[in-house]
Amino acid sequence: GRLPKGIYDGTYEFFNGKTSIFVQSTILRVHPVGTLEQQAELSSFSSNKVTAEMGEIIALEAKLKNTGQLPVEGVVIVGIERDGKRIDVLKSDKKVINQKQEGTYSFDWKPEQSGTYTLTAYAEYGIKKTPVQAITVTVNGGLKSMGQILRIVVGVLLVAVVLGVLWWILKKYIR
């Protein structure tokens, strides 16, 4: 028979004659007509900066192109990693893209730490997903910032001078 779209619990059972030899429970998903015919590709993934300062807002943009003959409802997922560890995941709202059209997905990202980040993006549409695309963004700041390094060095020198003067005063006048 024909099942309407939805998710169903099912059991498969194989027999050898009248003897059951294998039983397995599974979930059966019935998708709308045309779901398997949908085609799309992530045509681009980019950022407005490849180098940024810590706390600066970086604009990310992904474009999903419908290459099939049916409309697709797509969502783009961006993963953000630093030093091989996942830091964050950004997910767009769903967007319907008609045949031979392209949809643009925009994200704003504000890095909280300095370092080299790998950003990966892919799109999900229907029951399919596109191959992953990746970009790298370097974020300056923290101890890597020359201004902050200079402030730390000057601070250490001032503390050393103050301690030296105090030691000299104590040595000369307290005998």
Q: What is the pLDDT of residues 75-109, one digit of tens each?
A: 999 999 998 899 999 999 999 999 999 999 999 99
pLDDT tens per residue across span 13-65? 999 999 999 999 998 777 666 667 889 999 999 999 999 998 899 999 999 99
pLDDT band, residue 10 (cuts 50/70/90):
confident
Closest CA to 61 of 119, 114, 101, 113: 119
Total Cβ atoms within 10 A of residue 79:
17
- pTM of the full predicted structure? 0.66
